[in-house]
Structure 1
């Protein structure tokens, strides 16, 4: 999270399913894939919060049917994923990382790459995500901001997806990490699954994808700082818009009283 949203390019082949959980270097990984695959990469956190309103609304609709309870639900999820990722070379971060089983079915030729880090450090870093996304005043503050007015509903369906997949609410523990690893090994054929630590740089990633190491530095994006910046930015935007609304109301009321 924290990059600019990507724009799909029709005709782009979908090649990589990013199966790493949030806070495992998914932003850096996304930029690295963009360089290697020479196509747009769908980073879930960035697209849902900074992309067009249709992004976040589509995810709310899709995840409202997860886990699928019928064949109709299953088809709705698959069609929704196909629509969201049309024109992208890869998808990373949540919600895609929790829909790997569906994505493996939808893209049988795509490689599944799970970004990893020390599990205990990951648990600690997830507190930042929880703190930024569960502030009690968000629904009111973000209401004037297009797209982000749906943020609380989006977090709620993400939470339901998480609880179903990993069996716990926030604050998350190493149990969620372990259950995600078990989930991937269960739903992804062994020959298609790769684990990758972004600290290792280009070498292992290029080897997995059969690409030459590019003559540029491996991207380093701090997910935690990006999330904090986004939270402050959106809250500030919401407050400014509320100030404008109240100012407009005040002017209107004053004009009415003067005319009266």
Structure 2
């Protein structure tokens, strides 16, 4: 048995790690996640998982601090299995911040690099993620939901700023330059035979050949366009406002009812 096979045999993972999707945000990663699900890989870990499970934020922040700020012990196979042990695939942030570490930890996982024209990527990124993560736009909702959105938004901004720099002052030129730098770095350390570059709109063919899967009889998924992202963000904020209104109004209604009852007795 090879060393790599021994490591996977000793692993406490629930399922093997099979695919690492290392494309940057807004390069079709949501569509790729849906495609992988169609091909039998189940749910893929991505930023939405962290949003739905804010307790993950602390663990990912610890990994970020260790790698980028030399605070604490860098994550190894055991820590990655603790975070990602239920997933056969990983995509998007925060996972792509640890591309080299995940490639080393899971040597038999195949790498998919989703790509997109830099101009189109910037337009999509600017009109979706920069809007969603605007601190002024989300201020009230974050205050009303401190353990949910209040924890997630600063974390999501942090994951993007590691590659792109401060989001509040980012320029189109700097963003596209850093975006292209990220892709050059990935191409430099991933062996060509282990990686597939998949461009938005490409379809099933080369992907299925790379993964050794039959081509499904359904169209390649198209998920998470700009309208879907913003609508989802607005719905979440509305739910926060609705819950807050219920919490605030319930005591008022109760006190009003008690007051009216006392008044009626007095009359």
SS of equivalent residue, structure 1 residue 53: coil
SS of equivalent residue, structure 1 residue 200: coil
SS of equivalent residue, structure 1 residue 141: helix
Q: What residue number does 1:250 align with?
A: 252
Over 3 Å counting, the alpha-carbon distance change for 1:96 and 1:229 in structure 2 is same
CA distance in 2, matches of 1:18, 1:255: 56
Q: 2:202 aligns with which of 189, 200, 203?
A: 200
Q: What residue number does 2:3 align with?
A: none
Higher mean C-alpha displacement, 58-67 vs 198-207: 58-67
Q: What residue number does 1:107 align with?
A: 106
CA shift for structure 1 position 15: 0.8
CA shift for structure 1 position 168: 11
Q: What residue number does 2:8 align with?
A: none
When normalised by structure 2's length, the TM-score is 0.80
The aligned runs of 1:213-252 (5 Å cut-off) are 213-251=215-253
CA shift for structure 1 position 135: 3.8
CA shift for structure 1 position 39: 2.7
How many residues of Structure 1 are paired with residues of Structure 2 in the alignment? 246
Q: Deviations over 1:218-255 (max 9, x none)?
A: 11113322311221011101111221222134346657
Q: What residue number does 1:4 align with?
A: none
**Bigger CA radius of gyration:** 2
Q: What residue number does 1:7 align with?
A: none
| Alignment root-mean-square deviation, CA | 2.9
| Gapped regions of structure 1 (runs ≥ 5) | 1-9
When normalised by structure 1's length, the TM-score is 0.82
CA shift for structure 1 position 19: 0.5
SS of equivalent residue, structure 2 residue 196: strand
SS of equivalent residue, structure 1 residue 67: helix
CA distance in 2, matches of 1:73, 1:167: 28
